[in-house]
Amino acid sequence: MGVQKKDTSRAGKVPGNLKLKGENFYRDRKKVQYVNMLRGGRAKYDSKGNLVKAAAFQSHDAAPARIEPNRKWFGNTRVIGQKALEEFREQMAAKINDPYQVLLRRSKLPTSLLHDNTRIGRVNMLQTETFSDTFGPKAQRKRPKLNVEGYEQLVQTITSSNENYDHKKDANLLANQQSEFTDATRDWYFGAGTSKRIWNELYKVVDSSDVILHVLDARDPEGTRCRHVEKYLKTEVPHKHLIYILNKVDLVPTWVTARWVKVLSREHPTLAFHASITKSFGKGSLIQLLRQFTRLHADKRQISVGLIGYPNTGKSSIINTLRQKKVCNVAPVPGETKVWQYITMTRRIYLIDCPGIVQFSSSDTDTDIVLKGSIRTQSLSSPDDYIPEILSRVRKEYIQRHYNIDKWDDAHDFLSELATITGKLNKGGEPDLHVVSKMVINDWLRGRLPHYRAPPEFSEPLPKAASSEPAADVAEQAVVDAGNDSKMEGASGDEAEEGEEEERITLASLNVSQKFSKIPVMADFLPVDLEGDKELRELENAQVSDDSDVGSDADVSSKKSTKRKRAAAAVEDEDDDVEADWDEVMNAANQEPAEADSELDTDLSSVEED
């Protein structure tokens, strides 16, 4: 009965008596095919062990093949003279070491062989001294292993270490050792941001990003830099672009922002930024810079921009500012972002948010870690230990104005008076120092107590790209052609294939300009801290007058063509999901020379031709 039902149901699907081997009442055709797929790929043998059917790729029979008749397999057609090689090395060193030069495409030639390897390998001791002279009863005195080449370098190293020595941070001194178990009794929360999970999130963001934005706190840029990550990017992934974003510029004077931007621009391009959905600064410049990267990487459908940095530096707030709405959870406490997350800015630009990381440094004390904002205030077991450092870093006038306390003897006296004023008292009228200390630390971290770290003086002249105010577009495109050098020897034209692309290295410079006088400074500073703003305004006014003179000398036709090109670029970008702050973009663009757009079009057309 069951067989008849199965036969009737199969009659409309399988014509006639076509049946698959193994098909029966228990297994239909589809099930048999699935089982055969799982059993497939195995060799079949008979009862005597002879091979009946070979498995996949088990046969030793090879199809006849032949070598392609191409001359490049049998001869060296790429020969360059020694003089041309030296010139190529000099040009490459001048271009690649410039932080404002962007590498667009690498040559197919092994350019890594053109760089001199300065790394000294490990010396085998047995090659210099025998085993019996080095070890055993007849061992002789070994030469000390030094990391210097001569006495001059040794003296210079010792002098620099003595100048930078700080006895307060020397852990080997008995005065700095509280007990023999200092490391064991250290609070658990000092390991925040250093776990393996957080660093795995960081490396996932670095691997997935084409452009990396390193977010720094404008109040302490050097203290919030991740040197280890910068070294990793420079050595392991040099093709990724690193940009500094100096966030929270509304909490420091304008001249401090301008000076820090010039100092950091010596190493990498730096932008000042104020994260705010309603009233921001630097959003148009950052969008303009990211659009330049999309044009430079025209071969990619989209680029990914990763944001990294210390906790509580404003990475998620920058993303919300660029999107003009809340797409990431933000909070004035560290550790709000737990995992990395993708955010779509436009159809060609994707943003990647990363959890805050804390770089281990032997020079940072527990007080430095707390005052950088890497630890949540409610987790501190003894917050009153960090108040003396806050009182020493903040001007006395700011503390008196904010807390209405005229004078105090020490940190304990200051906390006692503050607890009395705010009403934070325990039973019996005793001041609650624990709660009041957290209040002071929160005021320090959230900008209610104005403070900043003064930038270093300019002992060395700034590079041209950082000292001058360049245009906000791709200024020039330098092409170093190693394949068509006029001094190459032995490379004839008939040896190269027709239609083969030229082997060359293409570089383009990226520069942006910002007017720091438009930064909305929220903190109320004293006139002593604002002395540098007057000089900054005078410099900006002089640059504006120079730009106006240059603009008046330009032809009217070039101005009209510039407006047409900008209008066309605006129409092309209408399909993006987010509208940029075009008021700021146009204000910056109106100050550019009229020839900048013509150079941009020429450079981009050359990139597309390549």
The 3-state secondary structure of 513-567 reads: CCCHHHCCCCCCCCCCCCHHHHHHHHHHHHHHHHHHHHHHHCCHHHHHHHHHHHH
* 464-475 pLDDT per residue, tens: 433 333 333 333
Contact 341, 330 (CB under 8 A): no
pLDDT at res. 419: 92
Residue 16 clears pLDDT 50, i.e. is over it: yes
Contact 353, 309 (CB under 8 A): no
Residue 547 Cα distances to 220, 240, 289, 469, 592, angstroms: 33, 33, 21, 10, 7
pLDDT at res. 309: 92
CA nearest neighbour of 261 among 277, 273, 278? 273
Q: Which residues contact 260 (CB under 8 A, 6 or more apart)?
A: 218, 221, 246, 270, 455
Residue 272 clears pLDDT 90, i.e. is over it: yes
Of 77-81, 148-152, 445-449, the least confident:
77-81
Confidence of residue 170 (pLDDT cuts 50, 70, 90): confident
- Look at 187 and 117; give whichever has higher pLDDT: 187
Q: Beta strand 101-105 with 241-247: parallel, antiparallel or unpaired?
A: unpaired
Residue type present at position 353: D
The gap between the terminal CA atoms of the chain, to the nearest Å, is 75
Strands (E) across 177-321 are located at 211-217, 241-247, 270-272, 303-309
pLDDT at res. 501: 33
Confidence of residue 207 (pLDDT cuts 50, 70, 90): very high
Please tell me the distance from the alpha carbon of residue 406 to that of residue 413, in angstroms, as a whole number: 12
- Look at 456 and 586; give whichever has higher pLDDT: 456
* 64-99 pLDDT per residue, tens: 777 777 776 766 666 677 888 788 778 777 777 777
3-state secondary structure of 595: coil
pLDDT at res. 416: 92
Q: What is the DSSP string of 89-158?
A: HHHHHHHHT-TTEEEEE--SS-GGGGS---PPPPPPHHHHS-HHHHSSTTPPPPPP--S-SSHHHHHHHH
Percent pLDDT > 70 in the chain is 67
Compute the average pLDDT of residues 426-447.
Answer: 90
pLDDT at res. 205: 93
Contact 313, 372 (CB under 8 A): no
3-state secondary structure of 41: coil
The radius of gyration computed from the CA coordinates of the chain, to the nearest angstrom, equals 34
Chain centroid, CA 606 distance in Å:
28
Encoded tokens for 274: 């104020």
Of 126-135, 173-182, 183-192, 243-252, the least confident:
173-182
